[in-house]
A and B are shown apart, each in its own frame.
Chain A
Amino acid sequence: MITKKGITASPGVAIGSVLVLDTEEYRIPRRTIDVVQLPGQIRNLDAALEASRQEVSELRMAAARKLGDETAVIFDFHEQFISDPKLRDGVVALIEKHHYTAAFAFGQVMNQRQRQFQDIPDPYLKERVRDLFDIEKRVLRHVLGRAREDMTRLTEPVIIVANDITPSQAILLDRQHTLGFAINVGGQTSHTSIIARMLGIPAVVALNDITADVAGGELLVVDGTNGIVVANPDKETIARYEEQRRNYERFAGKLRALRDEPAITRDGVPIQLLANIEVPQEAEHAFESGAEGIGLYRTELLFLATPRIPSEEEQYEAFRKVAQAADGKPVIIRTIDLGADKLSPAMGPQHDHNPVLGLRSLRYCLLHLDMFKMHLRAILRASVEGDVRIMFPMISSVMELRQAKATLADVMEDLEEEGIPFRRDIPIGMMVETPAAALLSTTFTREAAFLSIGTNDLTQYTLAVDRANERVAHLYSAHNPAVLKLIHQVIRAAHRRKVAVSLCGEMAGTAIYCQLLLGLGLQSMSMAPADIPSIKRVIRATTMEHCQMIARKVMQFDADRQVLNYLRDEFRGLDPEDQS
């Protein structure tokens, strides 16, 4: 029995027999050829590059289908790299100058590039050398006319052991028969690890020489949660990991099964769980995860994706898609929250000395009324397609909210004159994300139809901590008593005036905060779709009475450390067998 520690790449436990992937490296002998053969070598190179490009293009489409555009970007780049004339020129120059074979010349060029990557201190960019190996292997395979290795049709469930699994191999893994994988190289951020996580295959990477420690057919345990592999485990070890595997799968299965269960506490209080989305395509995923509506549609991405301001039609199309996907469920569209860390090229250079406190978000919109009005028109036009609501961000004074509402009224008038339909009584709400808005929440409840607490910014502004600044990031905590007091105040103000209140910061999707937030009186939360099952699990395991006790206790603490320790204990006590 050998136990080895690597880096966890994808959680879960897999136990199974090993398939050592042939990690044959192409060693190309240095060979020079006769001048008359040179054109043939160049034709061979061109054919190989084109065949490789096509292959990668297919991979890109497969990746987009299976895992979404995020992953497809990897292969998009591979394709561009392979079709880069500079790459071809470099290889052709070597062929012509030294009379090398196409294979050797190509290997030389790639080798040189890979060496430059070996010494980079930056771990993320350094990992990109794996992509260079992937590209090299693919093109050489075509130059040499070899068949492609096939991991797509495995006949029995196996654990794949290899020196490296390239991103393109990972994407083609036969999910049904691949229990897990363990590889010599790689890191948490290598594309292969990212793909493993998305496919839900347990994986451990950076094991140095796992290929030397196991042989095909031997039994291997891959503990992706802890980054450990055990080769040839004894009986007790197998039993222990079998149990872990069952626990993990039961836990994952429970979360999946929760999808169609209501989010309701054990003493019968229903809680509304909404989803935060950034692009229309996410809406469907949100509803599949059990969301009862879209609590925060961040519209900035529309503006960040292109160098110019998106047209009214483009914006309308995006909003309409989400409203239709919601099928009558509420969709809260937040008006553009650009500025600070989110800058659109169309905004032009920003000269704020302190952008977080500068001309951002609604402030920017109120100064750029043409752009803002076009945005509001698109939202209003989409409002007839479903239960669309509108929400203004970053408000710190009542005047700002009034100005925004006046602008909206102007746009409504325009639409009316033009005879374009929209929902006149569209609910108008606001984010509470500045301490000013939280302190004046009673005032705001008279002017807004609903409030949504944005805890990310509220925490940053209350504690005067920029969490992107690593020197002070440790001071950032949403459970700081000062932040909690503000949240509590907002919820109470809303309840008194019977105005709907929700919370849409990261806090809403963090399971340990859930009982506290319910105890503070929150009955609606909006979070990343992926967080919905784990939050629902907490809600269904607790009672409102218990949550209120937790909240009373927490509000007496002076330090964020105390709050966190207490909340962790309460979270663990919830359903101990499920915490594995």
Chain B
Amino acid sequence: MERMDPRVAVEREIVIPNKEGLHFRPIMQFVDIAQRFASGLTVHCEDRQADGRSPMEMLMLIATQGARVRVVADGTDAEELITELIGLVESGFGET
């Protein structure tokens, strides 16, 4: 059998839960996770788009509380990456 391309894109929508939105600490937690995986990560908020590994671009997403954010991971460990990100977001970034 021919080898298939193992790359898969996984996409999920998340809602920013914490009061202060995607500010410094949450971004650093987010980027930290993204950098630990091989898959690429793109994050969309309204018409803005950011590389999930770039703290600068993540800040420029301007994702406030309640913002709908779409995360798209692309690569062999995309599923695991998304699962971990969802966990982080659902924990409210450890904030209120």
Interface residues of A (CB under 8 A from B): 73-74, 76-77, 80-81, 84-87, 113, 116-117, 120-122, 124-125, 128, 131, 301, 304-305, 307, 341-346, 348-350, 468
Give the chain B neighbours of A344 by CB distance below 8 A: 91
A77-B27, A122-B64, A345-B84 known; A304 vs B59 contact (CB < 8 Å)? no
How many chain B residues touch A (CB < 8 A): the figure is: 30
Query: How far, in whole Å, are A116 and B25 apart by their CA atoms in the complex?
Result: 20
Inter-subunit contact A80/B88 (CB<8 Å) = no
Give the chain B neighbours of A125 by CB distance below 8 A: 20-23, 62, 64
Identify which of A87, A307, A468 contacts B96 (C-beta below 8 A).
A468
Interface residues of B (CB under 8 A from A): 19-25, 27-28, 31, 33, 51, 54-57, 59-60, 62, 64-65, 84, 86-88, 90-92, 94, 96
Give the chain B neighbours of A84 by CB distance below 8 A: 54-57
A87-B56, A122-B65, A468-B96 known; A77 vs B86 contact (CB < 8 Å)? no
Give the chain B neighbours of A468 by CB distance below 8 A: 96
Interchain nearest-CB distance for A322 vs B (Å): 20
Query: How far, in whole Å, are A450 and B90 apart by their CA atoms in the complex?
Result: 34
Give the chain B neighbours of A307 by CB distance below 8 A: 33, 84, 87-88
A117-B62, A307-B88, A468-B96 known; A86 vs B51 contact (CB < 8 Å)? yes
Query: How far, in whole Å, are A349 and B85 apart by their CA atoms in the complex?
Result: 11
Identify which of B21, B56, B94 contacts A86 (C-beta below 8 A).
B56
Given contacts A84-B55, A350-B90, 20 further A-B contacts (CB under 8 A): A73-B24, A73-B28, A76-B28, A80-B55, A81-B56, A84-B54, A86-B57, A113-B56, A120-B64, A121-B64, A124-B20, A124-B23, A125-B64, A128-B59, A304-B94, A305-B94, A342-B91, A346-B87, A348-B87, A349-B90
Minimal Cβ-Cβ distance residue in B for A350? B90
Tell me what chain A mostly uses at the interface: helix, strand, loop, or mixed: helix
Query: How far, in whole Å, are A74 and B27 apart by their CA atoms in the complex?
Result: 12
Inter-subunit contact A341/B59 (CB<8 Å) = no
Minimal Cβ-Cβ distance residue in B for A344? B91
Identify which of A73, A77, A81, A343 contacts B91 (C-beta below 8 A).
A343
Identify which of B23, B86, B87 contacts A128 (C-beta below 8 A).
B23
Give the chain A neighbours of B96 by CB distance below 8 A: 341, 468
Interchain nearest-CB distance for A369 vs B (Å): 22
Query: How far, in whole Å, are A84 and B35 apart by their CA atoms in the complex?
Result: 12
Minimal Cβ-Cβ distance residue in A for B67? A122
Identify which of A77, A80, A122 contacts B21 (C-beta below 8 A).
A122
Inter-subunit contact B92/A116 (CB<8 Å) = no
Question: What are 21 A-B interface contacts by the 8 Å CB criterion?
Answer: A73-B28, A74-B24, A77-B55, A81-B59, A84-B57, A86-B51, A86-B54, A113-B56, A113-B60, A117-B62, A122-B64, A122-B65, A124-B19, A124-B23, A125-B20, A125-B21, A125-B62, A128-B59, A304-B91, A341-B92, A348-B87
Identify which of A73, A120, A304 contacts B25 (C-beta below 8 A).
A73
Query: How far, in whole Å, are A85 and B51 apart by their CA atoms in the complex?
Result: 11
Query: How far, in whole Å, are A561 and B87 apart by their CA atoms in the complex?
Result: 41
A80-B55, A87-B56, A125-B23 known; A120 vs B62 contact (CB < 8 Å)? yes
Query: How far, in whole Å, are A232 and B34 apart by their CA atoms in the complex?
Result: 55
Interchain nearest-CB distance for A127 vs B (Å): 9
Inter-subunit contact A349/B23 (CB<8 Å) = no
Query: How far, in whole Å, are A74 and B90 apart by their CA atoms in the complex?
Result: 23
Give the chain A neighbours of B88 by CB distance below 8 A: 307, 345
Identify which of B28, B56, B59, B90 contacts A343 (C-beta below 8 A).
B90
Minimal Cβ-Cβ distance residue in B for A128? B23
Give the chain A neighbours of B21 by CB distance below 8 A: 122, 124-125
Give the chain A neighbours of B23 by CB distance below 8 A: 124-125, 128
Give the chain B neighbours of A113 by CB distance below 8 A: 56, 60
Give the chain A neighbours of B57 by CB distance below 8 A: 84, 86
Query: How far, in whole Å, are A125 and B88 apart by their CA atoms in the complex?
Result: 20
6 smallest beta-carbon distances between A and B, as pairs: A345-B87, A77-B24, A122-B64, A86-B54, A84-B56, A80-B55
Interchain nearest-CB distance for B82 vs A (Å): 12
Give the chain B neighbours of A343 by CB distance below 8 A: 90-92
Interchain nearest-CB distance for A524 vs B (Å): 28
Give the chain A neighbours of B22 by CB distance below 8 A: 125
Interchain nearest-CB distance for B33 vs A (Å): 8
Interchain nearest-CB distance for A329 vs B (Å): 29
Give the chain B neighbours of A128 by CB distance below 8 A: 23-24, 59
Give the chain A neighbours of B87 by CB distance below 8 A: 307, 345-346, 348-349
Give the chain B neighbours of A87 by CB distance below 8 A: 56
Give the chain B neighbours of A342 by CB distance below 8 A: 91
A122-B64, A307-B88, A343-B92 known; A85 vs B59 contact (CB < 8 Å)? no
Interchain nearest-CB distance for A108 vs B (Å): 15
Minimal Cβ-Cβ distance residue in A for B64? A122
Inter-subunit contact B94/A349 (CB<8 Å) = no
Give the chain B neighbours of A350 by CB distance below 8 A: 90
Give the chain B neighbours of A116 by CB distance below 8 A: 60, 62
Minimal Cβ-Cβ distance residue in A for B94? A304
Give the chain A neighbours of B91 by CB distance below 8 A: 304, 342-345
Query: How far, in whole Å, are A84 and B62 apart by their CA atoms in the complex?
Result: 17
Query: How far, in whole Å, are A57 and B9 apart by their CA atoms in the complex?
Result: 36
Give the chain A neighbours of B84 by CB distance below 8 A: 307, 345
Inter-subunit contact B90/A81 (CB<8 Å) = no
Interchain nearest-CB distance for B10 vs A (Å): 15
Query: How far, in whole Å, are A116 and B22 apart by their CA atoms in the complex?
Result: 15
Give the chain A neighbours of B24 by CB distance below 8 A: 73-74, 76-77, 128, 131
Minimal Cβ-Cβ distance residue in B for A338? B91
